[in-house]
């Protein structure tokens, strides 16, 4: 056992996982919901929740029993964000490209096969659609997901595809393992992914993977989103193929070095 694993705190891990469950789509949860999501028993879940409530990071509604982040949690997150310039620099790159081209841009990290939004800008005067802050079961249907998959070693790609839940978002969604494997192989060769109405009718997206600047592991992806009313997939490839790859390279250089943001 490594020294790092020997000093690993399971209790702290569980507490942080509870805090990470709350987002824009899920602002409140009950104890039973938290226990079910994390696979914990009710006694342990109560202990972790009560500790966070006593510390002031969570609050519990005495009537509904719903649990939600408290104001101290907001202050804590705000201070963490202010402690790093990485997000600020990412925003500057995205804002510049958005300003110069008026296109919708999404930057996501991959965490345990889930896409987590870091930053996005939406094009003006056009049909727009943004993924939720946390998106599950979409690695096969989005340009972000396919771009991220293409950044992984071949054996890990095969493993993820083999255990993947294929949800058909539209009639064009890839729901066959072999077809997805072929698409990821094509994506890896050209260094960008396409999703033409596979996640949502009328939406075409082109995405490229983000890599940890030190260890080179894939950690997420960036994408440009377009409406089929204004662009075709062929035109998007020709006009934005090189741009999305250069954008991904620029953003990757700005990412905080680490061991990857998702389990690989």
Rounded mean pLDDT, 159-167: 93
pLDDT digits (tens, 9 = 90+) for 48-102: 999 999 999 999 998 899 999 988 887 787 777 666 667 788 899 999 999 999 9
Q: What is the pLDDT of residues 233-252, one digit of tens each?
A: 999 999 999 999 999 999 99
Average pLDDT over residues 152-159: 95
Residue 258 pLDDT > 50, yes or no?
yes
Do 139 and 170 touch, CB atoms closer than 8 A? no
Within the chain, all domains assigned CATH 3.30.450.40 are found at 84-254
User: Around 253, how many Cα atoms within 13 Å sit in the side-chain half-sphere?
Assistant: 6
Give the model confidence (pLDDT) of 202-238 as tens digits: 999 999 999 988 888 999 999 999 999 889 999 999 9
Rounded to 10°, the helix 143-150/177-190 angle is 70
pLDDT given for residue 3 in this prediction: 55
User: Is residue 260's pLDDT more than 60?
Assistant: no
pLDDT at 142: 95
| CB-count exposure of residue 35 (10 Å: 0-12, 13-18, 19+) | buried
Q: What is the pLDDT of residue 259?
A: 46
Class of the CATH domain delimited by 3-78: mainly alpha
Domain with CATH 1.10.10.10 in the chain: 3-78
Cβ proximity of 42 and 32 under 8 Å: yes
201 or 130: which carries more pLDDT confidence? 201
Classify strands 203-211 and 193-196 as parallel, antiparallel or unpaired.
antiparallel
Q: Is the pLDDT of residue 261 over 50?
A: no
Across the chain, mean pLDDT equals 89
Max Cα distance, the chain (Å): 57
The pLDDT score that the predictor gives to residue 84 is: 67
Angle between helices 31-38 and 10-20 (to 10 degrees): 120
Which stretches of the chain are DSSP H helices? Answer: 3-6, 10-20, 31-38, 42-55, 71-82, 86-101, 143-150, 154-162, 177-190, 233-254
Report residue 91 as tokens. Answer: 């925003």
- More confident site: 257 or 25: 25
| Cα 145 to Cα 124: distance, rounded to the nearest angstrom | 25
Mean per-residue pLDDT for 13-19?
93
The answer to whether the pTM exceeds 0.85 is: no
Nearest one of 142, 148, 73, 57 to 111, comparing CA atoms: 148
Segment 116-144, tens digit of pLDDT: 888 899 988 666 666 677 788 899 999 99
Q: Which residues have CB under 8 Å from 186's CB, separation 6+?
A: none
What CATH code would you report for 84-254? Answer: 3.30.450.40
pLDDT-derived band at 1 (thresholds 50, 70, 90) equals very low
């Amino acid at each position: 056992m490594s020294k790092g694993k020997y000093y690993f705190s399971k209790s702290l891990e569980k507490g942080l996982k509870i805090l990470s469950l709350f987002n824009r789509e899920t602002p409140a949860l009950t104890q039973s919901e938290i226990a079910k999501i994390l696979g914990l028993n009710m006694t342990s879940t109560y202990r972790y929740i009560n500790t966070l409530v006593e510390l002031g990071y969570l609050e519990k509604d005495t009537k509904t029993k719903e649990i939600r982040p408290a104001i101290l949690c907001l202050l804590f997150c705000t201070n963490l964000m202010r402690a790093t310039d990485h997000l600020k620099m990412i925003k500057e790159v995205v804002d510049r490209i958005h300003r110069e081209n008026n296109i919708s841009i999404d930057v996501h990290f991959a965490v345990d096969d889930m896409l987590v939004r870091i930053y996005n800008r939406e094009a003006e005067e056009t049909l727009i659609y943004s993924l939720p802050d946390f998106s599950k079961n979409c690695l096969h249907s989005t340009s972000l997901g396919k771009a991220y998959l293409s950044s992984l070693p071949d054996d890990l790609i095969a493993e993820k595809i083999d255990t993947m839940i294929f949800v058909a978002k539209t009639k064009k969604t890839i729901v066959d393992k072999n077809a997805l494997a072929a698409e990821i192989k094509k994506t890896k060769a050209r260094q960008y992914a396409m999703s033409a109405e596979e996640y949502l009718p009328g939406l075409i997206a082109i995405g490229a993977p983000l890599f940890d600047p030190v260890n080179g592991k894939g950690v997420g992806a960036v994408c440009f989103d377009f409406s089929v009313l204004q662009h075709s997939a062929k035109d998007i490839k020709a006009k934005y193929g090189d741009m999305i790859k250069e954008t991904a390279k620029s953003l990757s250089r700005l990412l905080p070095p680490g061991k990857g943001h998702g389990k690989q």
